[in-house]
């Protein structure tokens, strides 16, 4: 009976696992290989099966778990990235890219005005680039998330709620 | 142009006349005007100067109404319906569309980077994202909301704005405070932007007039008193709480503050706002409130060209009376 109650309690807990020192180092090493990022001065955690979040709040992991017992935690920190199941490569979210923009030195794909607009409208970009893998999409000063470049296209991951509904300057 | 086809109920008119006196007609006229298109620069992502310049390059005429708050902006040029929300800068989280009156409670609470702050009724997240920016994404911000649908909106908005120092909880506000108290989890600052009858939003949501009834106000007043009582219990000594609503009804405003002052070890603080406001009232109908309730602020559409709001700040007094 007590075990069942404990199991039910665990089911309700937020599926959050903070990275320990080694896991964080491994993650940053991978970020460095992919994008040249050298440092994430915040706590990093895995939320659920695929989301990586970053948390800058001034509270310990133990206190967070305690808080989850006090009130159901529905969200924490900022959605930073996902890990690609097949390649184990990191795909940064829009906010993830913006957060580390100044550190990014590798795998940046510069868009022009037309392709940036198509990108923000959620369209895949049909083009042959000679590149492969995850690239940071950039137009002028704006960092527009991550795209996956394959032989003839760049796959788009802009969520529906963040897409341009029309071409800029055209009502 | 929104069609405004509404008829204020006689009791609403009577009550607003008591509150406003000869200004009532002026108030009614202002409700017919389109609301100002205001927004707040998200300083977690971009500086106000940079955003203003960028939007002006798009051809938008931008006004910064308050010198001390450069993040608060107004679009003065004509825009297509929905254009402010569809713009790339909005999608990238560079600004948050927010009524100016709704920006005032966080300005009054003034959360600092190292503080532990609770936003008790947080969705849709306008004030949560504003407070996170004021805290420079540090300290701890707990944003609570009891309805799952509204949590999704809150989560989407905080994500778009790049909020990292926040934990979202889902619980009834009164029950949440009780659990925090049991676990001695206390806060430096609490924002209680209470659920209310929304009389201040008539200008943007005329349908509020159709739904208006005095019974709702009386029921909300009871809930608001329970919420403020619960929230005071989890303030640290000298901790501060801002109580706000977007309504004019005294039962939901001064009466709630009066209740807090009479029943708890708190005092009301004077506040300064960057726009024209009226003092809290000390008498309404046959009800009388403590003199100090005058330190609360009433924001009216015809005085500030915003929505209507009520804002008050209380401070928990130390056991030694300081």
* CA dihedral sign of residues A8, A13, A14, A20: negative
- Measure CB to CB from residue A67 to each of B139, B167, B182 and give the nearest one: B167
Taking contacts as CB-CB distances below 8 angstroms, the residues of chain B near A94 are: 92-93
* Chain A interface mutation, best of B78, B81, B88, B115, highest count of A Cβ atoms under 10 Å: B88
**B266-269 vs A108-110, strand pairing mode:** unpaired
SS3 A130: coil
| Stated pTM of the model | 0.95
- Interface contact A168, partner B, CB < 8 A: yes
pLDDT in the model for residue B1: 44
Predicted confidence (pLDDT) at residue A88 exceeds the cutoff of 90: yes
- Measure CB to CB from residue B88 to each of A75, A99, A164 and give the nearest one: A164
> Among all chains, which residue has been given the structure tokens 């503050």?
B257
Taking contacts as CB-CB distances below 8 angstroms, the residues of chain B near A57 are: 138-141, 164-167
| Between residues A112 and A5, the one the model is more confident about | A112
SS3 A139: strand
> Among all chains, which residue has been given the structure tokens 């199991």?
A7
> Are B86 and A169 in contact (CB < 8 Å)?
no
Phi-psi region of B192 (alpha: psi -120 to 50; beta: other; left: phi over 0): beta
CA angle, A35 then A23 then A31, to 5° = 0
The 10s digit of each residue's pLDDT in B234-275 is 999 999 999 999 999 999 999 999 999 999 999 999 999 999
Predicted confidence (pLDDT) at residue A103 exceeds the cutoff of 90: yes
Over its length of 322 residues, how does chain B's per-residue pLDDT go in tens digits? 444 568 899 999 999 999 999 999 999 999 999 999 999 999 999 999 999 999 999 999 999 999 999 999 999 999 998 999 999 999 999 999 999 999 999 999 999 999 999 999 999 999 999 999 999 999 999 999 999 999 999 999 999 999 999 999 999 999 999 999 999 999 999 999 999 999 999 999 999 999 999 999 999 999 999 999 999 999 999 999 999 999 999 999 999 999 999 999 999 999 999 999 999 999 999 999 999 999 999 999 999 999 999 999 999 997 665 5
pLDDT in the model for residue B3: 47
Q: What is the phi/psi pair of residue A81, to 5°?
A: -165, 170
Predicted confidence (pLDDT) at residue A8 exceeds the cutoff of 70: no
Pinpoint the residues of chain A covered by CATH 3.10.450. 1-106
The 10s digit of each residue's pLDDT in B87-125 is 999 999 999 999 999 999 999 999 999 999 999 999 999
**Annotated catalytic, B246?**
yes
- Measure CB to CB from residue A71 to each of B92, B166, B179 and give the nearest one: B179
Pinpoint the residues of chain A covered by CATH 2.30.130.60. 107-171
> Which pLDDT band, with edges at 50, 70 and 90, does A49 fall under?
confident
* Chain B interface mutation, best of A12, A40, A58, A66, highest count of B Cβ atoms under 10 Å: A58
Q: Does domain A107-171 have CATH number 1.20.1250.20?
A: no
| CATH number, span A1-106 | 3.10.450
- Measure CB to CB from residue A74 to each of B140, B151, B163 and give the nearest one: B151
B30 vs A81, B271, B307, CA distance in Å? 47, 25, 10
Taking contacts as CB-CB distances below 8 angstroms, the residues of chain A near B142 are: 67
For A145, which residue in chain B has the nearest alpha carbon?
B92
In chain B, the domains with their CATH numbers are 10-35+101-316 (3.40.50.150), 36-98 (3.30.70.1170)
Give residue ranges of B with CB < 8 Å to any A CB.
Answer: 45, 58, 80, 83, 86-88, 91-93, 114, 116, 137-142, 144, 148, 151, 155-156, 158-160, 162-171, 176, 179-180, 182-183, 185
> Are B165 and A72 in contact (CB < 8 Å)?
no
Nearest CA-CA distance, residue B141 and chain A, Å: 7
Taking contacts as CB-CB distances below 8 angstroms, the residues of chain A near B45 are: 98
The token duo for A130 is: 């000679």
For B170, which residue in chain A has the nearest alpha carbon?
A72
pLDDT in the model for residue A6: 57
The token duo for B216 is: 């709702």
What is the distance between the alpha carbons of residues A73 and B241, in angstroms, rounded to a whole number? 23
The 10s digit of each residue's pLDDT in A14-33 is 899 999 999 999 999 999 99
């Amino acid at each position: 009976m007590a075990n069942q109650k404990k199991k039910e309690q665990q089911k309700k807990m937020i599926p959050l696992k903070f990275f320990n020192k080694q896991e964080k180092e491994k993650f940053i090493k991978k970020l460095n290989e992919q994008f040249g990022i050298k440092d994430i001065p915040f706590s990093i955690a895995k939320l659920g099966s695929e989301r990586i979040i970053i948390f800058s709040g001034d509270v310990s992991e133990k206190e967070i778990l305690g808080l989850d017992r006090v009130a159901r935690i529905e969200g924490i920190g900022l959605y930073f990235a996902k890990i690609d199941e097949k390649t184990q490569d990191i795909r940064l979210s829009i906010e993830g890219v913006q957060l580390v923009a100044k550190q990014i030195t590798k795998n940046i794909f510069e868009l022009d005005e037309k392709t940036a607009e198509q990108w923000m409208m959620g369209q895949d970009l049909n083009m042959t680039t000679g590149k492969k893998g995850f690239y940071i999409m950039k137009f002028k000063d704006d960092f527009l998330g991550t795209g996956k470049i394959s032989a003839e296209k760049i796959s788009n991951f802009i969520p529906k709620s963040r897409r341009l509904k029309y071409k800029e300057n055209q009502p | 142009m929104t069609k405004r086809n509404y008829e204020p109920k006689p009791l609403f008119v009577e009550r607003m006349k008591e509150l406003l006196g000869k200004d009532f007609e002026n108030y009614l006229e202002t409700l017919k005007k389109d609301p100002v298109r205001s927004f707040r620069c998200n300083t977690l992502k971009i500086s106000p100067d940079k955003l203003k310049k960028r939007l002006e390059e798009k051809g938008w005429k931008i006004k910064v109404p308050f010198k001390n708050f450069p993040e608060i902006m107004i679009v003065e040029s004509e825009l297509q319906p929905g254009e402010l929300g569809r713009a790339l800068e909005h999608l990238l989280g560079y600004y948050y569309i927010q009524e100016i009156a709704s920006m005032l409670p966080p300005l009054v609470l003034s959360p600092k980077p190292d503080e532990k702050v609770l936003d008790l009724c947080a969705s849709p997240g306008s004030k949560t994202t504003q407070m996170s920016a004021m805290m420079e994404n540090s300290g701890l911000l707990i944003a609570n909301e009891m309805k799952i649908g509204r949590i999704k909106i809150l989560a989407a908005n905080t994500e778009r704005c790049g909020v990292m120092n926040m934990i979202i909880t889902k619980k009834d506000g009164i029950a949440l405070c009780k659990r925090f108290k049991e676990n001695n989890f206390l806060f430096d600052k609490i924002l209680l932007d209470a659920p209310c009858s929304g009389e201040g939003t008539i200008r943007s949501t005329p349908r509020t007039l159709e739904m208006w009834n005095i019974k709702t106000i009386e029921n909300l007043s009871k809930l608001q008193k329970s919420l403020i009582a619960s929230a005071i219990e989890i303030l640290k000594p000298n901790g501060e709480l801002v109580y706000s609503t977007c309504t004019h009804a005294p039962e939901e405003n001064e009466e709630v503050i009066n209740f807090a002052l009479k029943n708890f070890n708190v005092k009301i603080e004077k506040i300064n706002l960057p726009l024209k406001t009226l003092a809290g009232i000390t008498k309404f109908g046959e009800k009388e409130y403590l003199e100090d309730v005058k330190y609360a602020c009433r924001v009216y559409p015809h005085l500030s060209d915003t929505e209507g709001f009520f804002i008050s700040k209380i401070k928990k007094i130390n056991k030694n009376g300081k």
